Structure 1
């Protein structure tokens, strides 16, 4: 098997992590702190892929340049297809493009509305928290369920993030509200029209094979092969599918910094920088 869980095997490849979250969505660290961590971990390329937000890119750029780390413009965009939450990773796009920026602003409003509906459901269950507390946790960034979980923990309603999700916020839990219901084909189009590349995030988590094949027909450029939820078997399985459809590979730690296990993953669940170079070669479009 050519690659281990780290995606770098034993051949000394330079390492990249193209799936990292910051405080601009639901991560613990600022974009600048992530660059510092990446430098300490010896990463040569990273992508900040905040949920429906690109505000971390410009914040990270000067320090990444100073540290000699390639910063790939990135985002993780939410969509829904046949009842499944589908996450699409975008890379190398023009993050200043007006249509994309307008859409991401719209998503930010939708995320806040979703949080308000969850707060309302929680209140009916006797769990009293305020939307203002959640927005403060998000630091005016892209609001997500981890921010609600943090407020629940602060209020003593749960002891951990995992309890918050299993008891209240998970997809089969009583306070859950569906995510952004944009069709994945529209998300892929937005990324493509901003001159970027689209990848299906962590397919093993939530995408049945039949659905994956349908998503490929919408114009995906690649699949996230390396992810903490993908063991070696899954990595090889998705690599075969990507090869069958002449798709690109991506991957990373999906680091948020919120769970104890996250620190074990950062700098270790990586991909070879050669994969990043292959992405760049695909960008030269006629």
Structure 2
């Protein structure tokens, strides 16, 4: 649902979307296509936050500059803590910084290895697909379960993405293999040491309160308040927690592409004022 609060949400306010995926991970559109879509719906700023990769940033940057769209360096990094998959959003970091770049290259290998193990599990169940098909589906981007689901659908093993996840790929399904198990404190450190800010992605999806407060203690800079899975109650709830710990707000559409032929891009957004507040927390050299 769109952001709405007293006086905010009308056309006179600048809008930003800081959670968007492209073909560089598991989205349907290229970074350039996302830039065009952002201009079309009137966004002032976006962040491409592909899973464990920053390759989309350089692809989007020239067009964003040409069209006057602010492109904030972003990433959605996988981690695990006490049995929970934790996703950390990073913003405003130096994405060419060697340690972060090296770590993300390592993640690319881990993601491919994970897909190979899932293919092996599927084969034992009589569901035979090839890792090459998955890599081709990912177009040399960051490999994820949606790419496996797409191949399963192409090969006629399932009729839909949701069936692929419920039958084979979901976290409690037989072919599931755990994602990257880096400790979230290490992910937060990598983002911060590259000059960026770290935010917990969609806390309502998979993060109980006691885990949330532990994650905050690891040095998070903020929480994702606006997300399609957060109703008004959840938005207010996480806003209160963020205020309690003097954390920043972020949010966005978590856009991957149209769902059931309906394209809601531009309908879930945050006020640009939140971006301004993020910038005020950055080191002076990063603000430029």
Q: Report the TM-score when normalising by structure 2.
A: 0.95
Query: What residue number does 1:39 align with?
Result: 39
Tell me how far apart the structure 2 counterparts of residues 253 and 86 of structure 1 sit (CA, whole Å).
Answer: 18
Q: How does 1:142-181 map to 2 (within 5 A)?
A: 142-181=142-181
Query: How much has 1:179 moved relative to structure 2?
Result: 0.4
Change over 3 Å in CA distance of 1:165–1:43 after alignment to 2: same
Query: What residue number does 1:138 align with?
Result: 138
Tell me how far apart the structure 2 counterparts of residues 60 and 105 of structure 1 sit (CA, whole Å).
Answer: 20
Query: How much has 1:10 moved relative to structure 2?
Result: 3.5
Matched, 1:219 2:219: yes
Query: What residue number does 1:283 align with?
Result: 282
- Please list the CA deviations of residues 11-44 of structure 1 after superposition, one character each: whole Å capped at 9, or x if unmatched: 7321100000001111111100000111111111
Tell me how far apart the structure 1 counterparts of residues 158 and 219 of structure 2 sit (CA, whole Å).
Answer: 41
Q: Secondary structure at the match of 1:185?
A: helix
RMSD (Å) for aligned C-alpha atoms: 1.7
Tell me how far apart the structure 2 counterparts of residues 174 and 142 of structure 1 sit (CA, whole Å).
Answer: 23
Q: Secondary structure at the match of 1:142?
A: coil
Query: How much has 1:262 moved relative to structure 2?
Result: 6.3
Q: Secondary structure at the match of 2:273?
A: helix
User: Do the aligned partners of 1:8 and 1:271 also contact (CA within 8 Å) in 2?
Assistant: no
After TM superposition, what 4+ stretches of structure 1 lie above 4 angstroms from structure 2? none
- Please list the CA deviations of residues 188-231 of structure 1 after superposition, one character each: whole Å capped at 9, or x if unmatched: 00000000000000000000000000000000000000000000
- Size of the aligned set, in residue pairs, is 283
Tell me how far apart the structure 2 counterparts of residues 285 and 127 of structure 1 sit (CA, whole Å).
Answer: 54
User: Do the aligned partners of 2:223 and 2:242 also contact (CA within 8 Å) in 1?
Assistant: yes
User: Do the aligned partners of 2:195 and 2:283 also contact (CA within 8 Å) in 1?
Assistant: no
Query: What residue number does 2:207 align with?
Result: 207
Q: Secondary structure at the match of 1:250?
A: strand
User: Do the aligned partners of 1:199 and 1:222 also contact (CA within 8 Å) in 2?
Assistant: yes
User: Do the aligned partners of 1:84 and 1:207 also contact (CA within 8 Å) in 2?
Assistant: yes
Tell me how far apart the structure 1 counterparts of residues 258 and 144 of structure 2 sit (CA, whole Å).
Answer: 13
Query: What residue number does 1:128 align with?
Result: 128
Change over 3 Å in CA distance of 1:162–1:139 after alignment to 2: same
Q: Secondary structure at the match of 2:46?
A: strand
Change over 3 Å in CA distance of 1:257–1:278 after alignment to 2: same
Q: Secondary structure at the match of 1:77?
A: strand
Structure 2: tracts of 5 or more residues without a match: none
Query: What residue number does 2:248 align with?
Result: 248
Tell me how far apart the structure 2 counterparts of residues 200 and 261 of structure 1 sit (CA, whole Å).
Answer: 29
Query: How much has 1:263 moved relative to structure 2?
Result: 1.3
Q: How does 1:60-75 map to 2 (within 5 A)?
A: 60-75=60-75
Q: Secondary structure at the match of 1:263?
A: coil
Query: What residue number does 2:106 align with?
Result: 106
